[in-house]
Structure 1
C-alpha cells in the first residue's frame, strides 16, 4: 500500500515539475500597443489547457490508492480514480470567453479571443502584442 502512495507522489511531482513557468516578461522582449474599438462580441466556451485534467487524474489516482484490499481491487480503484478525476478536472478547467472583433485606429480589423468578459461592443481597448500574438487586452476607461 505504501509503495503505491510513493509511486503516486513521485508521478505527481514528476508531472508538475514541468508546469512551473515564469510569467514575468523578459527585458529583451519588445511589445507593441495598438488601440481600437470593439465592433462585435460573441460569447463562447474554451477548453481546458490540459492542466486541470492532469491535476484531477493525479488526485483521483492518489485517492484511489487508498481503496481496495488486494492488488487487483487497488489497481482498479487507482485506474477508476484517475479517469474520474481527469474528467472532473477537465470540466472544471473549461472557461467562458469572448471572441472580439476590433477595428484598429490604423484601419485594420483584428479578431481575438479573451477571457476578459468585461469588454463589450463599443468599448475602446488597448491590445498589447508580443510578436504576432496578442499578449494582453485592456479596456480603456474614458
Structure 2
C-alpha cells in the first residue's frame, strides 16, 4: 500500500517532515497574512483576523526549524506535538470562519476548507510517524 510505503520512508528520515511542515507553514503565513489580506474583499475575512491567523504558522515555522536543525531523541514526540498544533490551528481557523460566516465568501470558505484538508492529512501522517517512532525508542 502506498500510504504504508510513504510512512516507512518517513520513519527512516523523520526530520524531513519538519522541513515539509515548516515550508507549508511559511506558505500558509504568506497566503493568509499577505495574499488574502490584499484580496480580503474577495474572501470576506477582515485583515485583523487574517493577521492573527497568519501568526500561528509563523510560530510553527520556528518550531519546525528548531526540530529540523536540532539533534535530539524526541523526534516522535515533537512530530506528535506539531500534528496537534496543526489540528488546533484548523479549529481556530474554522472558529474564525464561522464567526465571520455572514461576510465570508464562497472563495473564503473554499480556502479555509482546502487548508484544513491539507493540514488534516499532514497531521495524520505526522502523528502516525511520531507514534511509531515513540514506540521504537
TM-score band by shorter chain is 0.3 to 0.5
Question: Which protein, 1 or 2, shows the higher relative CO under an 8 Å CA cutoff with sep ≥ 6?
Answer: 2
Give the structure-1-normalised TM-score. 0.32
| Greater strand content | 1
Structure with greater helix share of residues:
2
Q: Which has the larger radius of gyration?
A: 1
